[in-house]
Amino acid sequence: MLPIDLTGKRAFVAGVADDNGYGWAIAKALHQAGASVCVGTWPPVLGLFTKSLDRNKFDDNIEYPGGRLSFEKIYALDAVYDGPEDVPSEVREDKRYKEIPAYTIQECAAKLVADFGEKPLDILVHSLANGPEVKKPLLETSRKGYLAAVSASAYSMVALVQRFGPLMRANSSAVSLTYLASERTIPGYGGGMSSAKAALESDTHTLAYEAGRKFNMRVNCISAGPLPSRAAKAIGTIEMMVDYYRKNSPRPEVMNANEVGHLAAFLSSPLANAITGALIHADHGYHSMAMPAEIAPAQA
């Protein structure tokens, strides 16, 4: 038996706000493997998320064989802002932010140190993506919308590694989530999000080198198939995409969030010690297809 054992390790998963996305599934898999798990949640939904946990609203998806997911700590995190000086006054005064004392990346890192000591982390997970104009074709995307997508979905990974790298113990791991639209055209996935995912993947290679040398950290990226999570429904075509993948993948199955969770747990474990700077597809093989299976010749 060769188990994934993360006992004694602590993970920080950025981008968990409900129980049906890849971030939640990764947190659950890491916890199942023995890690303690902290999460960073977008301030406008932090209250709803914590209340839902307290009221057992997520109980249908909180159990796993032999245990139950629990979070060691839940932090407010808006990864668009590196430090408090970067927060615009209109955001600072917004009622959704006003009563939250600290939520920038630097402030979140400082809270982790205050709560757990100088080097509290072993695993960092980036499950963040946002494109305010994602429903617009690229040709209709504004500069502001494009840069916002890159900032929230790609640069946020760079900023997290910058500020969380010094908090990571030796032989640590960072994992991010991308999508095939970085490599191929996916009509309907607009607003600069395809460009943001391409940037995230390119940065994975450079961060693997720089953070590997500076922090002894491995950095990898998972290209996951479409999942009809609440966040993904903002795209507007997610159900169609899920069905198309199912019909045209080598293995005609719908993605299960736990499949990506298990891969992230493996990449975060000592079993993946030699893997860094890698882009790994978890999409039942859809990325390998060059012709729709629906029109392919019948197999004998």
pLDDT at residue 18, rounded to an integer: 95
- State phi, psi for 126 to the nearest 5 degrees: -105, 105
Q: Starting from the edge strand earliest in sequence, which strands make up the sheet with 36-41, in order?
A: 73-76, 36-41, 10-14, 121-126, 168-178, 217-224, 279-282
Residue of 75, 103, 146, 179 marked active site: 179
pLDDT at residue 232, rounded to an integer: 60
Contact of 242 with 184, CB cutoff 8 Å: no
Residue 298 lies in a domain: no
Model confidence at 231: pLDDT above 70: no
Model confidence at 299: pLDDT above 60: no
Q: Which helix (H) or strand (E) holds 112?
A: helix 105-116
Residue 5 lies in a domain: no
3-class secondary structure, 121: strand
Model confidence at 140: pLDDT above 70: yes
pLDDT digit string, tens, across residues 91-117: 999 999 999 999 999 999 999 999 999
pTM of the model: 0.95
pLDDT digit string, tens, across residues 168-219: 999 999 999 999 999 999 998 999 999 999 999 999 999 999 999 999 999 9
Residue 297 lies in a domain: no
Residue 249 lies in a domain: yes
Query: Considering its fold, how many domains does the chain have in total?
Result: 1
Q: Known catalytic residue: 179?
A: yes
Model confidence at 30: pLDDT above 90: yes
Residue 210 lies in a domain: yes
DSSP code at position 270: G
For the chain, the average pLDDT equals: 94
CATH for 227:
3.40.50.720
Residue 296 lies in a domain: no
3-class secondary structure, 255: coil
Residue of 81, 97, 146, 189 marked active site: 189
Q: Known catalytic residue: 189?
A: yes
* Strands of the chain, DSSP E: 10-14, 36-41, 63-64, 67-68, 73-76, 121-126, 168-178, 217-224, 279-282
Segments forming the whole domain that contains residue 15: 10-284
Residue 30 lies in a domain: yes
- pLDDT over 70 percentage in the chain: 96
